[in-house]
Amino acid sequence: MENLHMCPKFEAAFELLGKRWTGLIIRSLLDGAKRFSDMQAIIPNLSARMLTERFKELEEKGIITRKVYPEMPVRIEYELTEKGKDLKKSMDQIQVWAEKWSNS
Amino acid sequence: MENLHMCPKFEAAFELLGKRWTGLIIRSLLDGAKRFSDMQAIIPNLSARMLTERFKELEEKGIITRKVYPEMPVRIEYELTEKGKDLKKSMDQIQVWAEKWSNS
């Protein structure tokens, strides 16, 4: 089993993306940087507390960055890093699978 | 957000594959049907109790089937369904991503 040693990284990736809202947050950010209030408008069922938590996790994993623009009032935007953008193919692939087999 | 409604299926797929050992079990079965004892030899760190639990989950999700051959002694094998085999592309894609970005 040549892949045995890859397992933890692989599982960590799936575990992260399997968390509620994470996939949808990443999908939304694939359109471009968003402010906190933009995300709340896009995903109305997602509470501010949960969104804060998810943003923090994704930042820690290097998937998003938080940019502070020193304007008045201060503008804060969240955007995908290169690592984050690179998840698109994997997410598309899983989505195809999930759609295809959803009734079985 | 056209993908909003796909979210639960998508998350369920990631959640399943994010569970410890699940990815490795599926990878092993991509080589062909295996007996319980084969799996234990391939993944020595995986306890019998955990393997039983994972097999049960995967069977419930329609990803593997359990085949009983009425021989003496009875032979029981676990194999991927078409739905299970169809996960290969997604798993490969995530693995590529995980490998590529593992140091960042």
Output A4 or B66, whichever has higher pLDDT.
B66
- What's the pLDDT at B37? 95
Cβ of B83 within 8 Å of Cβ of A104? The answer is yes
Write the residue in B20, B90, B98 that is nearest to A9 by C-beta. Answer: B98
Q: Which residues contact A14 (CB under 8 A, 6 or more apart)?
A: B14, B15, B17, B18, B23, B94
Q: Which tens digits make up the pLDDT trace of B69-97?
A: 999 999 999 999 999 999 999 989 988 99
Output A81 or B104, whichever has higher pLDDT.
A81
Question: Considering only CA atoms, which of A20, A53, A23 is closest in space to residue A36?
Answer: A53
Provide the mean pLDDT of chain A: 89
- What's the pLDDT at B76? 96
CA distance A70 to A85: 25
Q: What residue segments make up the domains of chain B, in order of their start?
A: 19-100
Q: Which tens digits make up the pLDDT trace of A33-57?
A: 999 999 999 888 899 999 999 999 9
Mean pLDDT value of segment B50-64: 96
Mean pLDDT value of segment B26-36: 94
pLDDT of residue A78 exceeding 90? yes
One CATH from 1.10.10.10, 3.60.40.10, 2.60.120.310, 3.10.180.10 for B19-100 = 1.10.10.10
Q: How confident is the model at residue A104 (pLDDT cuts 50, 70, 90)?
A: low
pLDDT-above-70 percentage for chain A: 92
Region of residue A62 (phi > 0: left; psi between -120 and 50: alpha; otherwise: beta): left
Write the residue in A14, A97, A101 that is nearest to B23 by C-beta. Answer: A14
Q: Which residues contact A69 (CB under 8 A, 6 or more apart)?
A: A75, A76, A77
CATH topology of domain A32-104: Arc Repressor Mutant, subunit A (1.10.10)
Q: For B1-44, where are the alpha helices, taking DSSP H only?
A: 7-18, 22-30, 36-42
Q: Taking CB atoms and an 8 Å cutoff, what residues of chain A touch B22?
A: 11
Q: Taking CB atoms and an 8 Å cutoff, what residues of chain A touch B2?
A: none
